[in-house]
């Protein structure tokens, strides 16, 4: 009880500090460490960590909502996960994500408008349908909060797909390769990314103690601030999140200058 009170008081103090400084408009989250957390907790199967990790998304979104952070992108499943992890584990992960999306976001009264980043063609039909249904159900959401679920996602592949779409677009317009090369800009590519129309992340947080981007929003995070947290994703506390925001507020953003 005494420890809970101290944590509550500390969180309240952190929240005041964070609210007094600049807050990120868009936070990217690399939700890593589900399996290691499950092993640490002695669960029957390490993949059970995915269930707890998926449920934890709602808690983190409530923290963001309370602070007015309007855009959140959560990296849930990479193209490498789909291709190289055990089939049984991948099936469980996708089932958990389907259930989470259907239960909490596939509803017109959702506070978060859902977007998807990734190659839906790589996903099972049931997963793709669940994601598309949530996108459609929240299309008219007017709260101003936007949640992007990165599933079957890879940053390099995203840029390749964007360039492919751009080439098709310009070819249909009758533009030659030489004309495209002479006029190509970064904005042209940005318009064809999965995240087109959304702000770039100001802050990217990775849990689990790993210090790498793992192919997450490579184009969009060129000038993002990075924060690495030791906690595994299911154990990522509000205090950990507020510490990341406090670190962000203390930094002087130079945007490459």
Catalogue the active-site residues. 32, 81
Ramachandran category for residue 135: left, alpha or beta (phi over 0 → left; psi -120 to 50 → alpha): alpha
Q: What angle do CA 191, 168, 151 make, to 5 degrees?
A: 55
Region of 184 on the Ramachandran plot (φ > 0 left; ψ -120 to 50 alpha; else beta): beta
Beta-ladder partners of 115: 148
* CA–CA dist 138, 25 (Å, integer): 20
Q: Could you give the CA distance from residue 82 to residue 228 in angstroms, rounded to a whole number?
A: 24
Which residue is associated with the tokens 């807050």?
Answer: 23
Distance CA 38, CA 54 (A): 13
Question: In this structure, what token pair is assigned to residue 161?
Answer: 């797909």
Rounded Cα–Cα distance for residues 188 and 167 (Å): 10
Helices 2-20 and 49-67 cross at an angle (nearest 10°) of 50
- For the chain, strand residue ranges (E) read 26-30, 71-78, 112-117, 145-153, 203-206, 225-228
Q: Where are the alpha helices (DSSP H) in 105-219?
A: 125-137, 155-172, 177-183, 186-190
């Amino acid at each position: 009880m005494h420890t809970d009170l101290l944590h509550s008081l500390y969180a309240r103090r952190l929240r005041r500090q964070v609210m007094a400084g600049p807050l990120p408009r868009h936070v990217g989250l690399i939700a890593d460490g589900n399996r290691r957390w499950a092993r640490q907790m002695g669960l029957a199967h390490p993949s059970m960590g995915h269930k707890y990790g998926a449920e934890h998304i709602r808690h983190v979104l409530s923290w963001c909502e309370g602070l007015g952070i309007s855009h959140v992108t959560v990296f849930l499943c990479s193209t490498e996960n789909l291709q190289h992890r055990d089939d049984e584990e991948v099936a469980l992960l996708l089932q958990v994500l389907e259930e989470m999306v259907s239960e909490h976001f596939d509803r017109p009264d959702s506070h978060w408008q859902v977007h998807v980043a990734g190659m839906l063609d790589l996903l099972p039909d049931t997963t793709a349908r669940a994601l598309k249904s949530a996108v459609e159900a929240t299309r008219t959401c007017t709260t101003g909060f936007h949640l992007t679920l990165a599933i079957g996602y890879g940053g390099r592949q995203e840029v390749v797909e964007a360039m492919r779409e751009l080439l098709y677009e310009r070819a249909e317009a009758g533009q030659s390769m030489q004309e495209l090369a002479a006029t190509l800009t970064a904005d042209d590519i940005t318009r064809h990314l999965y995240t087109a129309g959304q702000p770039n992340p100001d802050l990217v947080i990775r849990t689990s103690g790993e210090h790498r981007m793992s192919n997450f929003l490579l184009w969009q995070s060129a000038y993002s601030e990075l924060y690495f947290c030791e906690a595994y994703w299911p154990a990522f506390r509000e205090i950990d999140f507020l510490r990341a925001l406090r670190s962000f507020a203390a930094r002087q953003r130079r945007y490459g200058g």
